Every structure is written in structure tokens, then in C-alpha cells.
Structure 1
Amino acid sequence: MQYDEIDARLLRLVQRDATQSAADLSEQVNLSPSACHRRLQRLMAQGIITGQVALLDPRRVGRPTTVFVEISLSTQADEVLDAFEAAVARIPDVLECHLMTGAYDYLLKVVARDSEDFATIHRRHLARLPGVAKLQSSFALKTVCKTTALPV
């Protein structure tokens, strides 16, 4: 996908605040509102902009605890991987699931109310995932830096 410096500036702006109008964005990138709107539509059509979301404060919605879970599977067979991925995608407390290289197969980012809530998530969902041989959980003590903005 090709984009120019004006597109890159638009992408940086909407990553910080997607609620800005095309008129507001156009002033910041020195374009007319209609040209700015066309560029945004093109970036969406090309799949560079894939959606717009509201980011919530985990503490204010009662999910201040972040836990990273390393999971090793009993086998790498396609049917086990597929069953695991389908099952983990249905757990609402799992924000991210990544297939990894290295010492374990998957890394999950899980949110919970507290350690007791995580214990329940672990018992009811994570320990029952298909093909799991080993789980190791690490509680995040502090978020040092966090962004959803990709460098463009």
C-alpha cells in the first residue's frame, strides 16, 4: 500500500483522535475538507485504516489487572492449533492472542478485575482450552508505556 507524507500526517492525527472532523483534519494538513475526506476514504478503501474505536480506561470499567499468559500446546497439529484459536477467540477477557516463536506457543493478554477474578478466568476458560500442556501467568505491575498508534 502506498501513501504519501500528507496521508502519513492524516494517519498520525486519526490514530491520536479519530473523532476529529474532516474539516478539523484538513486545517492541520493544509488541504480542503473535501480533499481530506477523499484521502481518508481512500485510506479506508485500501485497508490502511481498518476501523475506528473508542479506547476505554481499564480502571474506570473495572478491569485494572493485566495478565500475560504464556501457553504451550501438547502438539503443533493443525487441528489442535485451529481448535485452540477458535476457543480462545470466544473468551471475552482475552484482549490479544499471538502465535509465538520461542519457548511457548501462544501469548495472551488478559484483563481482570483482580487476582481472584483472574483465578476464575483461569479455571473456567484458560485451563479448559483444547491442547494446552502448560500455562504460565505473569501479572503486570505497572504499564510503563502504551499506545495503539503505529509509527507512520
Structure 2
Amino acid sequence: MLDDTDRRILRHFQADPELGTAELAERAGVTQATCWRRLERLAARGILKGQQAVIDWQALGYAVEVSLRITLDKTVTRAFDDFLAGAREIPEVLEIQTFLGRVDLRLSVIARDMPHYQQLYRSRILTLPHIADIEALMHVARIKSDEVLPV
């Protein structure tokens, strides 16, 4: 699927996504035109999905992160769809994951402090439809947060 040149370009691009095409090409050992064509091809194939700004939410005053493990009432036909539609509307929900097993979903939620989390939990989270069970896991420390792939 990927050849050595693609992998080399991706490794350098992941290490420093702010590199210009000329610098990336130099580090990857290819011409600028080759690098540009390869990046375009990787994007067209859906391997490169784009670039994004990463904002440190803690620097913006959000000090609390909670992982909520949620089990839905699966006797309701549209339980997943209804729940997801509501959860997507809560700005403090940073991530929604679905699972197979006892737990159906996990929400990653941020708040400014514990009173803000408590208000958010009571007024927004607990009002989401079809919750059968919910477990809150308070985030203590992030040990590894790396999206760099071994290419």
C-alpha cells in the first residue's frame, strides 16, 4: 500500500507537521515536486485527512476531565441514535466512542472545575435519553497521548 518513500515522507510529516514542502522533501530525501505529488496522492487516498490546530483546553481554564462509561437501554429501538444526537450537542463532550460489550459508549467530558462539572452532569449529561447505567471515571494523569503511527 505504501512504499518506502511514502513512509519516509509520513514519518517526517508526523514529526513536524508545520514543515513546508521544500523542507519536508529535503528531510525525506526526495524532490519538492515528488514530495508534493506524494502528499496529494496520500490525501486523495484518504491516508492524510488534513491538518488541524491542537488547542490545549487546560490553558483555556478547563481543569477537569471525566470519562463517562454509559450503558443504554437497548430495549428502545433508537436508543443509540437518540443518545448520540443529544451528546453531540454538548460542547464540553470532546469525544464519543462506541463499544461492543457491557458498556455501550464512552464520553470524554471537560469542565472548568468540579462545580461546573456537577452542573454539566446534572443538567446536560443526565438528561440525555435512554441511559440505563453511567459510571464516571475522574481523569488523574495522561501518561501517553501520541497519535504518531509507526510508518
Q: TM-score, normalised by structure 2?
A: 0.91
CA distance in 1, matches of 2:110, 2:53: 17
Deviating above 3 A after TM superposition, structure 1's stretches of 4 or more consecutive aligned residues are none
1:7 matched to which residue of 2? 6
Q: 1:53 to 1:134 in 2, by over 3 A?
A: same
Residues 26-58 of structure 1: CA deviation (Å, up to 9, x unaligned): 011101111101111111111111121111222
1:83 aligns with 2:82: yes
Whole-Å Cα distance in 1 between the matches of residues 123 and 11 of structure 2?
A: 40
3-state SS of 2:126 partner = helix
Identity of aligned residues (%): 32
How far the C-alpha of 1:77 sits from its partner, in A, is 4.5
Instruction: Please state how far the C-alpha of 1:139 moved relative to its aligned partner.
Output: 0.9
Deviation at 1:63, TM superposition (A): 1.8
| Aligned twin of 2:124 | 125
Q: Which amino acid is 2:19 matched to?
A: Q
1:149 aligns to what? Answer: 148
Could you list the runs of 5+ residues in structure 2 that have no partner in the other structure?
none
Q: Distance in 2 between matches of 1:83 and 1:73?
A: 11
Question: What amino acid maps onto 1:104 in structure 2?
Answer: V
TM-score if structure 1 supplies the norm length? Answer: 0.90
The residue number in structure 2 matching 1:26 is: 25
In the aligned structure 2, how far is the partner of 1:149 from the partner of 1:5?
Answer: 17
Q: Report the CA distance shift for 1:77/1:123 in structure 2 as closer, same or farther (over 3 A).
A: same
How far, CA to CA, are the matches of 1:97 and 1:33 in structure 2? 39
Superposed CA RMSD: 1.6
Q: Aligned partner of 1:3: which letter?
A: L
Residue 57 in structure 1 maps to residue 88 in structure 2 = no
Q: CA deviation at 1:150?
A: 2.8
Which residue in the other structure is 1:139 paired with? 138
1:17 match: 16
Pair 31,60 (structure 1): closer, same or farther in 2 beyond 3 Å? same
Corresponding residue of 2:96: 97
Q: Which runs of 5+ in 1 are unaligned?
A: none
Which amino acid is 1:43 matched to? Answer: L
